[in-house]
Structure 1
Amino acid sequence: MNISNIHETLIAKNSDLAGSSFTDVNLREAKFTDVNLSQSEFTDINFSGTRFNDVNLSEVVIENCDVTGMTINGLLVTEMMRAYGEKQSAG
Structure 2
Amino acid sequence: MRLNGLKDQIEVETCDLSGSSFEDVNLSGVLFHDVNLSGSSYSDINFSGCSLENLNMSGCSMSKANLSGLQMDDVNLSGASIRSCCLEGMTIDGIEVTALLKSWKAQHGDHKGS
Q: What band does the TM-score fall into relative to the shorter chain?
A: 0.7 to 0.9
Q: TM-score, normalised by structure 2?
A: 0.68
Match of 2:97 among 83, 87, 91: 83
Runs (5+) with no aligned partner, structure 2? 76-86, 109-114
- Normalized per residue, the structure richer in helix is 1
Q: Which has the higher contact order (CA 8 A, sep 6+)?
A: 1
CA RMSD of aligned residues (A): 2.5
Runs (5+) with no aligned partner, structure 1? none
Instruction: Name 1:56's counterpart in structure 2.
Output: 56
Instruction: Name 1:43's counterpart in structure 2.
Output: 43
Structure 1 runs of 4+ off > 2 angstroms? 80-87
CA distance in 2 between counterparts of 1:49 and 1:21 reads 24
Q: TM-score, normalised by structure 1?
A: 0.83
CA distance in 1 between counterparts of 2:43 and 2:56 reads 19
Identity of aligned residues (%): 32
CA distance in 2 between counterparts of 1:36 and 1:8 reads 24
